Every structure is written in structure tokens, then in C-alpha cells.
Amino acid sequence: MHKAISLISGGLDSMLATKMMLEQGIHVEGINFFTGFCVEGHTHAIRKHEKPKRNNALWVAEQLGIKLHIIDIVEEYKNIVLNPKHGYGAHLNPCLDCKIFMVKKAKQWIVEQGFDFIITGEVIGQRPKSQRKHTMPIVAAESGADDLLLRPLSAKNLALTKPEREGWVQREKLGDLTGRGRSRQIEMAKNFGIQDYAQPAGGCCFLTDANYASKLQDLWQSRGVRQYELDDIMLLKVGRHIRPNENFKMIIGREEGENNYLEGYRKQFIHLRVLDHMGPLMLLDGDPSTEDLNLAARVMARYSDGRDESSVRVQINRPDREPWEVNVMPLSTTEIPQAWYV
């Protein structure tokens, strides 16, 4: 039996591509790459919901009855985000470089594990940057996968690959999908008896999101260097981000789940709490001056239940010293300029 590794994003297309191979008697295992930017319901996971968010890739693998290998590529992926050879899409999304990188990692994996080929759920014309007819051969060539890369959903519209040429899979049973429409995938899902799947939501990566990309740009600009750590990019997914100046930024939880998540970072950051009213947790990222701390306390008070009081007691906690308290007048809404919101 021939063996394939399938790039599982957690969406319907990779699920269908995998199912097509399983139907042809191929042994398929899944591979999923964790970049740190994966949407994967992190906002949902952080915010308080009755039903916890499942990891889509794991869920898909479970439904298909295949093994899933989740690979942490956070460190290696930084170079893709910071220096994409093929440039960015609409925001900070290096989609083509990302796809090449992931297929390259999958190629290394099949060599190490003795698998025969790689499949993806790519469809010609579905994504403006990486899934176009003329970029698909670039992915195959630059990843080094060459003709070991099979896209079952669009294979009939692409050059013959080794699995087809060697008769490991039957080309006539592969797909000829093109474009952004979803109706044929939905029909295929129905025919395969797949009733539940993640709904397409404009991509699986935060780098395609305008607001997120803007926060990442702000991070780089304020630090004067285009670098990031995993905690930086996770925190960009949480809370209100308010930057009054280049010295520091406030991150304020918007609800209980976000406050709980931010609690996990309180030992690493200066953080503020309101003592005499209910209120969120605020982390400060950067190097605030004494004046900045007073301003942050006033913003903190603004987001507490004491916003209409003349004085609110705020505790300031620095990781390197004992906490202290200040009494401040909450800022009014008009005193927080819109330009401060990142």
C-alpha cells in the first residue's frame, strides 16, 4: 500500500482531498503546522463560551480516522513572515512562501518517514496569492516536492504527478475543481457522507486579517525592529490594545475569558488592577515612565465600573518590586483619542 501525507488545515478542502485518497486505498496520515498565527479559534478559545473550541485539524483527522502529526514551526516560520521571497498578500500574509515552506517540510517528513507522496487540498484559483494555476508549479518546484505533490481536488487541470503516472492513484477519479465557489465541495462532502466541517471564514491565518496585521506592524514600529516571539503574537489576539506613545502599550481584557488569559502573563508584565470597583486586567508592554503609569491607571479606571467616580484606586504591579496604589480620576471617553487604539 502506498503512503501519503496530507496537509490538514482543518477546513473542508484538505478533508475532501484526504478522503479521495483514502477511497483509492492509499494509507494517509495528516500533518498540521503550527505557526503561531493559525486562527484555529484562538479568540474563541480565550473568550468565555459555553462550548469550548476544538482544534479543527485534530477534529478532521479524528473524523477521517487518520493519524495527525502536529509540528511546531514557530521559530523557523519567523523568516517566512519577516522575509518572504514572493512578498505579501493584501496584509502581512506571505501565502506563497508559506505554502512552499510547508510543502518543503512535508517533503522532508516523507523522506524521513518512508512515505511516497504529499497531498494538499489546494484548488486552482481559490486563493488570490498561493492557489493560482501559475503559482502551483512554483510551490512544487521551490519546495523540492516536484511531482510528488498531488492536489486531488484540481489534479485533472494540473500536470501529471508521479502517483498518477505510476498508477498509485487513478487520475480519472481525481477532481477538476477551479475557482472560489464552494458548491462542488459541498456536493462532494454530501456524497462522502461528511455532514460537519469547518465553514470557510476567509483563511486560516491571522496574517490575512487587517486589524491583526496593523497590530503586528505597530509592534515592530514601536520596538524599532522587525522581530517577534510567540507570546507577542499570541497577545495580539487578545484584548484592546491602546498605545498613547512609543514607550508603551496597554492591553486590556474585554471580558472574563480574556482577563483569565492575561492573568497568565501577569508575572512577565507590569499590570494594573482597579481595587475598589470591578474591572478588567491591564498589561503594559514596553517601558512606561512614571507619567505613563499614571496615564495607564486613569485609562484602567475608565474601563472599570468606577468610570463615573471622581477617584478610583488602582494597584500597579511591577515584576521587579512590591505593588503600590494610586488614586486617579478616570479618563473620559473623549480623552482617549481614537488614534491611540491600535
Contact set for another protein, span 21-40 (CB under 8 A): 32, 34, 40
265 binds another protein (CB under 8 A): yes
Residue 248 backbone dihedrals phi, psi, to 5 degrees: -155, 165
CA 267 to chain centre: 25
70 binds another protein (CB under 8 A): yes
Cα(328)–Cα(306) distance, integer angstroms: 11
Those residues whose C-beta lies under 8 Å from the C-beta of residue 154, and which sit 6 or more positions away, are: 122, 123, 124, 136, 175, 176, 177, 178
251: number of Cβ within 10 Å:
23
Q: Within 13 Å, how many C-alpha atoms sit on residue 47's CB side?
A: 10
Cβ–Cβ < 8 Å for 280, 253: yes
Q: Which stretch binds another protein (CB under 8 A): 41-49, 133-141, 185-193, 312-320?
A: 41-49
Q: How far is the CB of 36 from another protein (least distance, A)?
A: 9
| Window 215-234: contact mask with another protein (x via CB under 8 A) | -------------------x
Q: How far is the CB of 258 from another protein (least distance, A)?
A: 12
- Size of residue set near another protein by CB under 8 A: 27
Interface with another protein (CB under 8 A), residue from 59, 168, 197, 269: 59
- Which DSSP category does 318 fall into? -
Report the DSSP pairing between strands 68-72 and 117-119.
Answer: unpaired
Q: Which stretch binds another protein (CB under 8 A): 54-62, 282-290, 292-300, 323-331?
A: 54-62
**Closer residue to another protein, CB minimum distance, 67 or 133:** 67
57 binds another protein (CB under 8 A): yes
Q: Which stretch binds another protein (CB under 8 A): 118-126, 184-192, 240-248, 258-266?
A: 258-266
Q: How far is the CB of 237 from another protein (least distance, A)?
A: 9
**Closer residue to another protein, CB minimum distance, 48 or 133:** 48
55 binds another protein (CB under 8 A): yes
62: number of Cβ within 10 Å:
12
C-alpha cell at 117: 507522496
Listed residue (292, 291, 271) closest to 283, CA to CA:
271
106 binds another protein (CB under 8 A): no
189 binds another protein (CB under 8 A): no
Cα(208)–Cα(119) distance, integer angstroms: 24
Cα(129)–Cα(86) distance, integer angstroms: 10
66 binds another protein (CB under 8 A): yes
CA 248 to chain centre: 25
Q: Which stretch binds another protein (CB under 8 A): 187-195, 214-222, 257-265, 278-286?
A: 257-265
- Alpha helical stretches, state H, 114-161: 136-143
| Window 72-91: contact mask with another protein (x via CB under 8 A) | x-------------------
First and final C-alpha spacing in the chain: 53
**Closer residue to another protein, CB minimum distance, 260 or 294:** 260
Listed residue (330, 16, 35, 284) closest to 173, CA to CA:
16
Cα(115)–Cα(257) distance, integer angstroms: 42
Interface with another protein (CB under 8 A), residue from 214, 260, 294, 317: 260
Interface with another protein (CB under 8 A), residue from 3, 27, 53, 226: 53
Binding site for another protein (CB under 8 A): 32, 34, 40-42, 45-46, 52-55, 57-59, 61-62, 66-68, 70-72, 234, 260-261, 264-265
